[in-house]
């Protein structure tokens, strides 16, 4: 999927259908005098429904759909005939989509399962026909209920990618390269910063036909919370990950300091993210000889609070061990 086709944020105006009016019809038939009321009920207005679809990965199909309208309920008619219900408007979204009320920014609900349906704008109920109101003292009611009016609101759809492992690191740390080596994903890779502008997903194949999903997001820099770089707009895509995999290049001036900066940016975005499992990978380690590796290991053993590993995506070093470690962490 190209970067332009990844859409993870959409605003739209949704409108349900009006309920149909009840009928005030009075029965008229040859040889039947004073047939009495027989007005039917109005039909229900159509709902606007959000439905999960596991075959979708982005909100691209909704990018240019700003107004969604459901059908109105039909009016009741003679013979106690109920009007037809309005047609529901179904909006299909990928799993992990959060639906918010745009005006209040409150979360209405989240879609996490395939086929899951939630009503975001409820159709109006149809009005009752006049035959409901007949009685011994009012045998010919000439009134009926109107249908309940439609509901309309502005909503925001936010996609939060569902993955098992999220890659976190500074620009040019080797996240996209690692994703391209471990999975069949084809992220954009180049020797300049902020090559990745949109999240990328890949499926990592493991032993015995097992697999897990890995997500790569744009690089984070110090001050992202203040909007520097690309900000932390994309951090929501790793909120649902079980494991945060920190990538720090071997040529970094201070590996521990870089890790602490990344951790601080995550804390400022959402403190709950620090409760996730964390693992550090020193990437581009094919540039290191054994002596340098030993020196760096001594520093990391002393100052780093989490486990770490040396890998090289280009030289294919340590990748099998990394997959073993991630699989173990996921299943623990």
> 269 vs 108, 169, 234, 304, CA distance in Å?
21, 15, 11, 22
Q: State how far the Cα of 290 lies from the Cα of 113, in Å rounded to an integer.
A: 48
DSSP category for residue 230: T
Query: Annotated binding site, which residues?
Result: 169-176, 194-198, 216-219, 283-286, 312-314
Residue 169 forms beta bridges with which residues? 247
Residue 46: which of 99, 113, 114, 121 has the closest Cα? 121
Distance (Å, whole) CA 310 – CA 312: 7
Pairing of strands 117-121, 308-310: unpaired
Contacts of 249 (CB under 8 A, 6+ apart): 170, 172, 173, 174, 282, 283, 284
Residue ranges for the known binding site for Mg(2+) are 176, 196
Q: N- to C-terminal Cα distance for the chain? A: 32
Strand-pair partners of 167: 216, 245
Phi-psi region of 273 (alpha: psi -120 to 50; beta: other; left: phi over 0): alpha
Rounded to whole angstroms, the Cα distance separating 8 from 236 reads: 10
Which candidate, 142, 147, 149, places its Cα nearest to that of 39?
142
Closest CA to 123 of 49, 51, 66, 39: 49
Q: Show binding-site residues for GTP.
A: 169-176, 194-198, 216-219, 283-286, 312-314
**Block residue for tokens 């991630």:** 326
Q: Does residue 68 contact residue 150 with C-beta atoms inside 8 Å?
A: no
């Amino acid at each position: 999927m190209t970067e332009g086709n990844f859409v993870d944020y959409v605003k739209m105006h949704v409108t349900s259908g009006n309920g149909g009016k009840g009928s005030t019809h009075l029965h008229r038939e040859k040889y039947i005098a004073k047939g009495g009321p027989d007005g039917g009920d109005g039909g229900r207005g159509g709902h606007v429904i959000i439905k999960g679809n596991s075959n979708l990965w982005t909100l691209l199909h909704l990018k240019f759909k700003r107004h969604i309208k459901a059908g109105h309920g039909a009016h009741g008619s003679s013979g106690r005939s109920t009007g037809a219900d309005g047609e529901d408007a179904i909006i299909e979204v990928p799993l992990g989509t959060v639906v918010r009320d745009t005006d209040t920014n409150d979360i209405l609900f989240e879609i996490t399962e395939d086929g899951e349906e939630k009503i975001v704008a409820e159709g109006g109920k149809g009005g009752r026909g006049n035959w409901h109101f007949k009685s011994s003292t009012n045998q010919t009611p000439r009134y009926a209920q109107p249908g309940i009016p439609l509901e309309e609101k502005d909503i925001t759809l936010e996609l939060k990618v569902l993955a098992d492992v999220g890659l976190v690191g500074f620009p040019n740390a080797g996240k996209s390269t690692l994703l391209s080596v471990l999975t069949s994903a084809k992220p954009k890779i180049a020797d300049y910063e902020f090559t990745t502008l949109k999240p990328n997903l890949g499926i990592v194949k493991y032993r015995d036909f097992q697999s897990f999903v890995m997500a790569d997001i744009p690089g984070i820099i110090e001050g992202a919370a203040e909007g520097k770089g690309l900000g932390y707009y994309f951090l929501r895509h790793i909120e649902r990950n079980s494991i945060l995999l920190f990538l720090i290049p071997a040529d970094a001036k201070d590996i521990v300091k870089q890790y602490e900066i990344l951790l601080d940016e995550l804390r400022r975005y959402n403190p709950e993210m620090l409760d996730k499992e964390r693992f550090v990978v020193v990437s581009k380690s094919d540039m290191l000889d054994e002596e340098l590796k030993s020196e760096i290991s001594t520093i990391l053993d002393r100052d780093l609070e989490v486990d770490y590993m040396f890998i090289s995506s280009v030289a294919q070093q340590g990748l099998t061990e990394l997959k073993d470690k991630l699989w173990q962490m996921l299943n623990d």
